[in-house]
Amino acid sequence: MNFLIFSLILAATLAITLNRNIRNLRLNLQIQSDKKLRFTSLPIHYIYCFLLWSIIFTATITFTSFSSFAKYCLVATLLAVNFFLIKIFYKKNFNSKKHIEKAGTIVLSITAGIGILITIIITASILFESLRFFEFVKPLDFLLGTTWNPQMAITSEQAVGDSAFGMVPVFLGTLLITLIAMLVAVPTGIMGAVYLCLYAKAKTRDYLKPILEILAGVPTVVYGYFAVVTVAPFFKHAFASFGIEIASESALAAGFVMGVMIIPFVLSLTDDALNAVPQALKDGALALGSTKSEMIKKVALLSATPSIVGAVILAVSRAIGETMIVVMAAGLVAKLTFNPLDSVTTATAQIVTLLVGDQEFNSPKTLAAFALALTLFIFTFIFNIVALVVIKNYKKKYG
């Protein structure tokens, strides 16, 4: 840490000194020259070059095995050499602007590459562990099986036995809760965005939108607690008054609370999409005799459809990946049912359950979590591709 502080102070001091020297040198060159000089770069670009190479030198020396004293001497020498080289480059009218831009392009490329590399590593790790799982369980038994009961802690030397690894009830529960959440979030979010963008007064909008967006920052465990303590008992008493039995942990309660959690995503993105619709289109529709509601339905919403579909995609992905609300409010038992009043489970909840505790990664029970993750990844990937095709078609039609 002391070495980094020393390097930072030294580089800053030299940069300030270099800035003054270059400006004075620039002035002297202009005075001495009879014709107007054309410099390829500004003085600040040379300072950026100096700082860039100072950072590279310092980072390189930091990871060497030299002694502390040797590191201090080496970094001081390299920064001094860097200082004088930049002055020489300035006299030679070196194009430091292009140098900095090229360095920035390289940094941005590396950043993008890191994201892609991380995605590939995650996908590969899930794929390899899933292949190990399919050594114990046939892929068709996993994909088409209707019973999920991976509770036997089986080692690689034991038979699979009576454990069942059919993913159908798990993904049926995932789709059920996601559907309920979308039925709550999408209409509410879109209608709320329409009101805030096209009906509400500016002062009302300034108060309401931040309050609604606060919901996006609430931890999911708080939503789960709200579902268990408030929503689930409310639904139980409400349905009991009509003589309808509902489970204490139901897909309806979990999906409803999940929908409430997702409303800010849909509302905020839809509001931005409606605000992006050119005002000339809205005014033109009204000038042609349309009512405000007709203008909203036939002009504003249609023009903003690609962005609204994107908001729905984000909401669906958020709902599919939610875990805490499901674990607390929907249950952990996989049932082959599409009844929203019954308790169900989701893929993410099962992944958490299978990986909790001191489990070894040599049993089908633990490896089943990776198979679920791989299937969920493929499902989400296909869903996003289909949604992007839909967005592209809407842009061609209404863009």
**pLDDT (tens digit per residue) in 141-164:** 888 888 888 765 444 444 455 567
9 plus 78 within the same structural domain: yes
pLDDT at res. 59? 86
Query: Per-residue confidence at 96, pLDDT binned at 50, 70, 90?
Result: confident
232 plus 317 within the same structural domain: yes
pLDDT at res. 187? 92
231 plus 302 within the same structural domain: yes
> Considering the chain, what is the average pLDDT of its residues?
83
pLDDT at res. 83? 87
Yes or no: say if 311 and 329 are a contact pair by the CB < 8 Å rule.
Answer: no
What average pLDDT score do residues 39-43 get? 79
What CA–CA distance (Å, rounded) separates 330 from 334?
A: 10
Q: Tell me how far CA of residue 385 lies from CA of 163, 197, 313, 328, in angstroms.
A: 35, 30, 10, 32
- Residue 155 falls inside a structural domain: no
Name the burial class of residue 380, with classes exposed (0-12), middle (13-18) and buried (19+) by CB atoms within 10 angstroms of its CB. Answer: middle
Query: Per-residue confidence at 36, pLDDT binned at 50, 70, 90?
Result: low
> Which has more pLDDT, 157 or 262?
262
Q: What is the dihedral of CA 343, 348, 352, 355, to 10 degrees?
A: 120
What CA–CA distance (Å, rounded) separates 7 from 5?
A: 5
- Residue 131 falls inside a structural domain: no
Query: Per-residue confidence at 256, pLDDT binned at 50, 70, 90?
Result: very high
Strand boundaries in the chain, DSSP class E? 148-149, 164-165
Portion of the chain with pLDDT greater than 90, in percent: 4
333 plus 244 within the same structural domain: yes
Helix axes 43-62, 2-32, angle to 10 degrees: 150
- Residue 33 falls inside a structural domain: yes
Secondary structure element (H or E) that encloses residue 141, with its range: helix 139-144
Q: Which of 76, 106, 136 is the last residue of a domain?
A: 106
Asked if residue 369 has pLDDT above 70, the reply is yes
**pLDDT (tens digit per residue) in 153-195:** 444 444 455 567 888 888 888 899 999 999 999 999 999 888 8
> Which has more pLDDT, 32 or 273?
273
214 plus 355 within the same structural domain: yes
64 plus 200 within the same structural domain: no
pLDDT at res. 161? 52
What average pLDDT score do residues 7-20 get? 86
Domain limits at 254?
164-398
272 plus 191 within the same structural domain: yes
252 plus 370 within the same structural domain: yes
Note the pTM of the prediction, 2 decimals: 0.75
- Residue 207 falls inside a structural domain: yes
Yes or no: say if 223 and 325 are a contact pair by the CB < 8 Å rule.
Answer: yes
What average pLDDT score do residues 275-279 get? 85
Q: Which of 56, 91, 106 is the last residue of a domain?
A: 106
66 plus 198 within the same structural domain: no
**pLDDT (tens digit per residue) in 287-339:** 888 888 888 888 888 888 888 888 888 888 888 888 888 888 887 788 888 88
- Residue 125 falls inside a structural domain: no
Q: Which of 106, 121, 155 is the last residue of a domain?
A: 106
90 plus 219 within the same structural domain: no
69 plus 193 within the same structural domain: no
- Residue 185 falls inside a structural domain: yes
- Our count of domains for the chain comes to 2
- Residue 205 falls inside a structural domain: yes
Asked if residue 372 has pLDDT above 80, the reply is yes
355 plus 260 within the same structural domain: yes
- CATH number, domain of 227, equals 1.10.3720.10
- Residue 159 falls inside a structural domain: no
* Tally of residues, the chain: 399
Query: Per-residue confidence at 251, pLDDT binned at 50, 70, 90?
Result: confident
